[in-house]
Structure 1
Amino acid sequence: MTNFVTPVDALMHWQKQDPQRVYLRQPIDGVYHEKTWAVVAREAGQIAQGLLSQGLEPGDKVAILAKNSAEWFIADLAIMMAGCVSIPIYSTASVDTISFVLQHSEAKLLFVGKLDEWGKQASAVPIGLKTVAMPYPTMPCHIQWSDWLKEMPVIEKNHLWDAKDIMTIIYTSGSTGDPKGAEISFEAYRYACEQLIDVLQAGSEDRVMSYLPLAHITERVYIQGTSIFSGQFSVSFVESLDTFPDNLRSVQPTLFISVPRLWARFQQGVFEKLPPKKLKLLLSIPLVSSLIKLKIKKALGLNKARILGCGSAPVAPSLLHWYQSIGLNISEAWGMTENLAYGTLNVPFRSDKIGTIGKAGPGVEIKISEQGEILAKGEGMMQGYYKHADLTEESIVDGWLHTGDKGEIDNDGYVKIIGRLKESFKTAKGKYVAPVPIEQSLAENSMVEQVCVVGSALTQPCALVVLAAEMKQHSQAQIEASLNRTLKKVNEQLESHAKLSHVVVVNEDWNVDNALLTPTLKIRRNQIEQHYSVLIHQDVDTTVMFEMGSW
């Protein structure tokens, strides 16, 4: 452990020790603009002075609504320098969510950056709330970031924090009900970050990309936190969704974390150029296999990656085995906002533990309750839910975080999640069904991109699936045959009450915009069930049903 109390302490240390080392790399119009530790410290100091010029006082809340960028990091550091508490908001958040978070947190100022649809979100910003526009096209604001950099001196004295003070309030993505604000202390944040630096053996040769939402605890700890506390490696950003593949190939990260949906899309991209059967054949030829693997890894931009990670939502083991077959070992990890995303990891990677979320990280205790719930304990824990002492008492009991996940621990200490306590539903037969394991089995069919098993009050459960976009090139008969084979295989493994009656192929992609996914790309079960209520309760006489207009 270092003597740093806050990320600002680390920033000031690195800008003195290694001022010309490049820390942040921001692409603009296809060109990376680099900021050294010295530049980051200076600009954060100027933005901090800008905050003070608005009359902000220690403890005031300052929100950030923006996609990832160098300015996001700098704004966060400036907020700390000024003695304020950061309130990150997902760049894809709905008007209702933005409005709720701003009001609940009592934010006194809002930084606004890159946004895809700011026109829809602007109405969520209260008229009297001061706004600062980062230097990108975004909603109209009272103050321009560039003006502060021209006019403001560097703050004379950074705020002095205690380790137990609240650094940030991270609002959960709210898959059910209103988001809850987890209060994260400087002490807990530093602990989680520095443990990960050790586990990942992060060093000066590493490179990372910041593209998963910084409003989510994983990116905030794994990327932002580890980079600033280690002071050893640069962080590159993505210019836009369109440039993401090129940015990834340009950066060639050594540490790369993603979510199941993106890993599945990478796979589909490979299959577009090399169909599964042809790829399997080529990988079986010794001399050709190595060339094919290298070509795929270079095309993805992952040829230099030494640690690959996957988290946020359940992933099909078959997908991870496929990546292993092309020489990319993806380690699953698990954590929650409440324990700063630092819970379990399959690091160092063990192939025989694919299907688990790894084992407890150093300093973390994991156990299974009598009800089958995963409980976690460690120093990297939230202090509580902002303005919700009652929910805090329910969530943390005798120091143990009640995660809501059901799980098992094997003899080696590796943990497997088998569902959520509140996700199990009761069929009309009075039997409970856990949907997650069934969904993971269905997702082993590479045609399936998204899946949700439903069955509350039904005689037998059924599955709603969204197919990968590339499947439009296949005929309905081909898709039906493939899904039927998968359905038969899955049902053979299930007890009679859990067997699926049929699969429904739906038209609409589930995403954040239609509120069927959370900002962290988890499915919103309640919303999906409501959205497809008519389809779910429709009488069918086939094992694969296509929503009207699918094909």
Structure 2
Amino acid sequence: MREFSLPALYEVPSDGNLTDLIRRNAAQHPHTAVMGRKVAGTPGTPGTPGTPGTWTDVTATQFLAEVRAAAKGLIAAGVQPGDRVGLMSRTRYEWVQLDFAIWSAGAVTVPVYETSSAEQVQWILGDSGAVAVLVEGEAHAAAVESVRERLPALKQVWQIEAGAGATGAIEQLTALGSDVPDETVDERSAVAGADDPATIVYTSGTTGRPKGCVLTHRSFFAECGNVVERLKPLFRTGECSVLLFLPAAHVFGRLVEVASVMAPIKLGCVPDIKNLTDELAAFRPTLILGVPRVFEKVYNSARAKAQADGKGKIFDRAADTAIAYSRALGTPQGPSLGLRLKHKVFDKLVYGKLRAVLGGRCEFAISGGAPLGERLGHFFSGIGFKVLEGYGLTESCAATAFNPYDRPKIGTVGQPLPGSVVRIADDGEVLLHGEHVFQGYWNNPAATAEALTDGWFHTGDIGTLDEDGYLAITGRKKEIIVTAGGKNVAPAVIEDRIRAHALIAECMVVGDGRPFVGALVTIDEEFLGRWAVEHGKPADSTAVSLRDDADLLATVQRAVDDGNAAVSKAESVRKFRILPAQFTEEAGHITPSLKLKRNVVAKDFADEIEAIYGA
């Protein structure tokens, strides 16, 4: 058994709650822009406030006033202290406003992914006993309405984006609470203590029905306070800003929200990544948060564009130089003179353009949700953009370990959150202890008892700690594949390497009880058309039409070979199948945070798995 801890850098308040932060900001930074609000319209460059598609600043004073107005409406509608209120929306300014308004009314926020099915909506709102729900649009309202008769506790449904001629949720709540005095909001804001629930976040449900993780105000204070203190240069008030495009309903998104308010720095929210390049150029953040797939897309898109312009070899040389430069920075002697000169040349030719794609001001990113990959981490570090990889779960209030900005160790998920402890059990499982860890699962004492032992949370992840306390995650206990020959295989290592190829969308390793390891592979449709043209195939080719094509099979085989290079021969993929369909959230194959639901995939593609072993 091995464990490591760091002393706390932030003193968690003995009492109080997260609404204290927005009142403090209004008092201490009244004119500081703490939010960026996107005016409805298409993405564009900064211009006159109010122009469609542009960003306008919201000061700390304005934000507090808008939160209080919405909170008054909730109070007037009958929301009581401790009541659960659902929030189902994409990531947007109103999400953050309503989250703090719910807390200001003394209630508890229950996030619902905007992609959730009606059945999932029913389960989350019903299990939590939500008395009200705020939804974004017509589709979300329809999902709630379809199950409302099975939600006896639900009394109110408000819609943020109302139809033509209708009034939206913010306007309704503001009007409803117009007669509620400020003193009432102040009283309600002070009701919740540090150890009272702030939110009930339902897990993604990779292994069954989602469980509601109860996270207290103390959990967020301990989490966000220590993150902000340890990463101070990333959270400079008046200088730094962060663009959030992760789901706000996910605990990682909530970390960004609360940490930004705690610092405070300016927070901008965008609902998806379809126009991410335009949004980055318009908002110009200094910090972004993402999952590895986002950074893989940035790299693969840049490489594909360079190849299309006939500059593929230059890009590859630049990438190799960036990686070598980053690796050399970690050595006592540092980069050689020749490497420094090459790096300087490529900085003008390639790296500067890539930084411009990220908005031009961005120096740091925090990546979580899955392993980033050592090569990709060194690439971004080498171009002057540090991606600090971290690790956490819903139960740990997001990050429970992360790489420090001044001593990152690429290939690891960093050191423990200051003030917490990471322990590696005798069987390799990662155990967590600290004030950020959740209280338990809502209405589920059996699951709570299984996950928490004497204050230690059993993550289910397998990992190692090095001599400096840097954590590496090597697999998942319940996902370990045992082949017919008795070999234990952790799928994540090889899957991440295969998926790093531009043409691969997803990869799932199979082989439990089988004679060898196989893989199911899906093709990235964004890159397939370009690949097809380059290889003399019809531009409108699909994965279905090309799944038996020799050139495509050879390309995928090279990706598999690269993945196999990371593992032993017994763990390597011997055969693979290209699937005719994608793994989608709608089909239940992946969670909103892009984690594979292996049991669902295995069931839906059972014939494809049999085909791997049939011969």
Fold shared per TM-score above 0.5: yes
**1:188 to 2:225 alignment:** no
- Aligned residues of 2:465 and 2:472 also touching (Cα < 8 A): yes
Deviations 1:343-374 (A, max 9, x none): 111112656x3221111121121111011101
Given candidates 435, 438, 441, the residue that maps to 2:494 is: 438
Residue 537 of structure 1 and its aligned partner are, at CA, apart by 0.5
Match for residue 177 of structure 2?
152
Match for residue 548 of structure 1?
none
Deviations 1:129-157 (A, max 9, x none): 34444542579999732132245235433
Structure 1 pair 117–392 and aligned structure 2 pair: CA distance change class (3 A): closer
Q: Name the Cα RMSD after superposition.
A: 2.6
1:403-482 map, 5 Å: 403-468=459-524, 469-474=526-531, 475=535, 476-482=549-555
* 3-state SS in 1 of match to 2:388: strand
Match for residue 313 of structure 2?
277
Deviations 1:11-42 (A, max 9, x none): 11222333332222221220224322222222
**1:372 to 2:445 alignment:** no
- Aligned residues of 1:368 and 1:407 also touching (Cα < 8 A): yes
Residue 189 of structure 1 and its aligned partner are, at CA, apart by 1.3
Query: CA–CA distance in 2 between the matches of 1:99 and 1:65?
Result: 12
- Aligned residues of 2:134 and 2:169 also touching (Cα < 8 A): no
Residue 503 of structure 1 and its aligned partner are, at CA, apart by 1.8
Where do 5+ consecutive residues of structure 2 fail to align? Answer: 1-10, 42-52, 322-341, 536-548
* 3-state SS in 2 of match to 1:343: strand
Given candidates 254, 275, 291, the residue that maps to 2:286 is: 254
* 3-state SS in 2 of match to 1:10: helix
Deviations 1:41-74 (A, max 9, x none): 2222222221122222211111100111221111
Given candidates 254, 278, 288, the residue that maps to 1:220 is: 254
Partner amino acid for 1:146? E
Match for residue 262 of structure 2?
229
Match for residue 168 of structure 1?
199
Query: CA–CA distance in 2 between the matches of 1:537 and 1:411?
Result: 44
Match for residue 299 of structure 1?
357
Query: CA–CA distance in 2 between the matches of 1:460 and 1:102?
Result: 43
Partner amino acid for 1:386? W
Structure 1 pair 287–407 and aligned structure 2 pair: CA distance change class (3 A): closer
Query: CA–CA distance in 1 between the matches of 2:612 and 2:270?
Result: 47
Structure 1 pair 397–286 and aligned structure 2 pair: CA distance change class (3 A): closer
**1:211 to 2:268 alignment:** no
Given candidates 376, 384, 402, the residue that maps to 1:345 is: 402
Partner amino acid for 2:419? G
Where do 5+ consecutive residues of structure 1 fail to align? Answer: 543-551
- Aligned residues of 2:141 and 2:159 also touching (Cα < 8 A): no
Structure 1 pair 366–79 and aligned structure 2 pair: CA distance change class (3 A): same
* 3-state SS in 1 of match to 2:479: coil
Query: CA–CA distance in 2 between the matches of 1:538 and 1:434?
Result: 22
Residue 432 of structure 1 and its aligned partner are, at CA, apart by 3.0
- Aligned residues of 2:287 and 2:363 also touching (Cα < 8 A): yes
The size of the alignment, in residue pairs, is: 538
Q: Which moved more, 1:421-430 or 1:337-346?
A: 421-430
The higher-RCO structure (CA 8 Å, 6+ apart) is 2
Match for residue 84 of structure 1?
107
* 3-state SS in 2 of match to 1:519: coil
Residue 332 of structure 1 and its aligned partner are, at CA, apart by 0.8
Query: CA–CA distance in 2 between the matches of 1:452 and 1:388?
Result: 31
Query: CA–CA distance in 1 between the matches of 2:377 and 2:249?
Result: 27
* 3-state SS in 1 of match to 2:220: helix
- TM-score norm. by structure 2 comes to 0.82
**1:62 to 2:85 alignment:** yes
Given candidates 85, 93, 97, the residue that maps to 1:74 is: 97
Query: CA–CA distance in 2 between the matches of 1:355 and 1:287?
Result: 25
Residue 317 of structure 1 and its aligned partner are, at CA, apart by 2.2
* 3-state SS in 2 of match to 1:501: strand
